[in-house]
Structure 1
């Protein structure tokens, strides 16, 4: 996987390219609520918080949240976009979080696990910072449980290239259960449509997905040309939805 330097790439367009509607955000908050403890407040960590698309909503729903984000520019955008009193953003990464041991009730990694360079160390760090009974919400793709969004088929070897970014599910689970975690649930969440085919094309053109960093210029040109031809046939049609994996683990 070619890593993305968010301080030089994507940070300016990320919030727009990866924006969620209020309806989509509500679906995810409801999914998280279903697997989190009932008590409130809960102390949360949003790891790989990026431009903060989830952090304020997590704070509203569950209690104070710390966003952990390695990119200076992404943290700057997050702080500019929201001054939520229940949110703070800190420099750090999944492998090295600047928070005390046993200090959080849950952690969310939303499409950030594949960016983690040292997954063994990250699992150990999550074991350190979460309290016993704490929950890990891992919205990740897995090489053997891939949502296969409709637009990938237009890029050369699109499904294969994207799936190669991710671990198989059993490997992720084994990395945590070896440290004393247990699986609470593995399910899928279906977001409402993100708009029309035309809307989706405009967002994809911003190239704020890790997938695009793995392609050559020729592959990008070919893929977007095919995609534009498909969208041109009916740009106002609703973009298809797909089921997205959510793995929940509990620290015993």
Structure 2
């Protein structure tokens, strides 16, 4: 598990920031997979520093709750208040909301941090209204992209793969929790393109949980090579990878 009250909490805002246009692209993409009626109440489960929570409130025109266990991350989110957003201390395994209280649950790169994934999914079903939708934006071990920066850190791909489940395993867990998974995974391409220099500057903050598990000498050597490449070719356009998302529905 990653301690988001420690170093990661200090660097996350700078290392994982999203420009407003990217937030709008994400929330617009999410809107394609939920009921068209508005307003919709939404839970951002594992909301972190609130990168997406205000945008969800605006997109779905209802109330938005951000549930986050890390005090440091939640305090950072609260530095940018929004009239329709409430941040709550809680966890996936014990969501501090009543049964059938939201129309949409977003799990944005938080599922692999759940301490008890089956219980977390049962809680998601509990707080969803009948017919409500959970959007599980995660990686799957059998669908992982070959990220360009893995070449600098030889252990990183194996570490990332160990954090995630296969698509079939994830679907089975959801079904056991009483959620109905969509047949096909959704692929989204909404990330902001960045240059090699921009990628280096963001990644060098080590705001990805992968770096918490890499050997220190591998991190040091990898960033030395990464920095040298960024100095040689700073403006090189870097690839944008499709994101994967599984849509889950609470039956009516």
Partner residue, 2:129: 131
What is the deviation of 1:236?
1.3
Which of these residues, 165, 178, 181, is aligned with residue 179 of structure 2?
181
Gaps of 5+ in 1: none
Q: Aligned partners of 2:156, 2:68: CA distance in 1, in Å?
A: 28
Is 1:241 the equivalent of 2:240?
A: yes
Aligned residue for 2:173, secondary structure, equals helix
Partner residue, 1:79: 78
Partner residue, 1:145: 143
Aligned residue for 1:43, secondary structure, equals strand
TM-score, L = length of structure 1: 0.95
RMSD: 1.3
Runs of 4+ in 1 over 3 A off after TM superposition: none
**Residue range with higher mean Cα deviation, 178-187 or 36-45:** 178-187
Partner residue, 2:38: 40
Partner residue, 2:220: 221
Aligned residue for 1:65, secondary structure, equals strand
Q: Aligned partners of 2:98, 2:138: CA distance in 1, in Å?
A: 25
Aligned residue for 1:46, secondary structure, equals strand
Residues 46 and 55, structure 1, Cα contact 8 Å, conserved in 2: yes
What is the deviation of 1:226?
2.3
What is the deviation of 1:217?
0.6
Instruction: Give the 5 Å matches for 1:92-241.
Output: 92-184=90-182, 185-241=184-240
Q: Aligned partners of 1:208, 1:193: CA distance in 2, in Å?
A: 17
Aligned residue for 2:10, secondary structure, equals coil
Aligned residue for 1:135, secondary structure, equals strand
Aligned residues: 249
Residues 118 and 177, structure 2, Cα contact 8 Å, conserved in 1: no
**Residue range with higher mean Cα deviation, 4-13 or 205-214:** 4-13
Gaps of 5+ in 2: none
Is 1:26 the equivalent of 2:27?
A: no
TM-score, L = length of structure 2: 0.95
Residues 156 and 214, structure 2, Cα contact 8 Å, conserved in 1: no
Q: Aligned partners of 2:87, 2:31: CA distance in 1, in Å?
A: 22
Q: Aligned partners of 1:181, 1:192: CA distance in 2, in Å?
A: 28
What is the deviation of 1:96?
0.5
From the superposition, tell whether residues 194 and 42 of structure 1 become closer, same or farther in structure 2 (CA, over 3 Å).
Answer: same
